[in-house]
């Protein structure tokens, strides 16, 4: 029977034993390779600048309301004039849909061929970091040794399943995300395992555990709020602790799988420094 306190204490100990700065670099690069950077909207700032001088003279609520009303009216008129031509409207709609579809393809492609393997490599690093001083190269472990295609396929199906369950209903999507949360760790331990078996093992590992894992995630909310208040810099420094905690969680789940006969040591052999 595992507890949040024990899992998090073991995570802290692993970071103390083998260092914190390399895990920090690993999580930072993982965030860059699997996430996205949001750029600000310059269009709204440009339009607003044209009307700012009209509002500076009246700071009352009525003056502000009048400013907003005039601003929105001007924007509405500009849009009406722009889309009054059916050809322009249809062309714009087509370009928007095309851009959306292109963006979707790029996002799914990047997620499948880059993000998924990087996440598995990151998990490999943190699982090794529990027992010995792992190497930076582990972040790209999935890209070599004949592992890549199976990792890509399994991670793609994982994301696709969670995506469609979320489209159906939000709650089932959340449940499935926890049901399949061990898949990247199973691949990090055995990259040649079949997709079906990886999903089955994750489902068996998390059976009766999903609520406890959810509460474990909730226990980080205070730290995450503090990290956001520190201009999001705190989030960067929190991530190694969070990833080390999940590595400890997977260790408990794999012990459960071994103990209940869900898997043997041929299928889940462990993590050793000589594995390339």
Using the predicted structure, report yes or no on whether residue 45 has a pLDDT greater than 60.
Answer: no
Q: Where are the domains of the chain?
A: 4-31+95-259
pLDDT above 80: residue 36: no
Q: What is the pLDDT of residue 90?
A: 76
Instruction: Tell me the average pLDDT across 123-151.
Output: 94
CB 28 within 8 A of CB 261: no
| This prediction's pTM | 0.78
């Amino acid at each position: 029977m595992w507890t949040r306190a024990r899992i998090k204490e073991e995570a802290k100990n692993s970071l103390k034993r083998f260092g914190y700065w390399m895990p920090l670099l690993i999580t930072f690069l993982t965030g860059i390779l699997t996430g996205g950077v949001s750029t600000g909207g310059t269009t709204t700032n440009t339009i607003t600048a044209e009307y700012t001088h009209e509002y500076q003279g009246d700071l009352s609520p009525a003056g502000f309301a009048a400013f907003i009303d005039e601003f929105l009216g001007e924007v509405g008129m500009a849009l009406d004039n722009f889309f009054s031509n059916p050809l322009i409207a249809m062309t714009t709609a087509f370009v928007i849909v095309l851009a959306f579809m292109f963006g979707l393809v790029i996002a799914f492609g990047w997620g499948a061929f880059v993000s998924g393997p990087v996440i598995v490599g990151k998990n490999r690093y943190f699982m090794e970091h529990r027992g010995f001083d792992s190497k930076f190269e582990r972040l790209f472990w999935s890209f070599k040794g004949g592992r890549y295609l199976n990792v890509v396929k399994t991670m793609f199906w994982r994301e696709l399943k969670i995506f469609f369950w979320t489209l159906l209903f939000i709650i089932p999507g959340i449940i499935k995300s926890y049901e399949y949360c061990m898949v990247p760790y199973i691949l990090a331990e055995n990259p040649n395992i079949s997709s079906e078996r990886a999903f089955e093992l994750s489902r068996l590992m998390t059976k009766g555990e999903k609520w406890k894992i959810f509460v474990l995630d909730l226990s980080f909310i205070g730290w995450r709020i503090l990290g956001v208040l520190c201009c999001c810099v705190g989030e960067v420094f929190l991530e190694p602790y969070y990833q080390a905690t999940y590595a400890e969680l997977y260790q408990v789940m794999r012990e459960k799988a071994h103990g209940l006969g869900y898997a043997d040591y041929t299928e889940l052999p462990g993590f050793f420094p000589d594995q390339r």
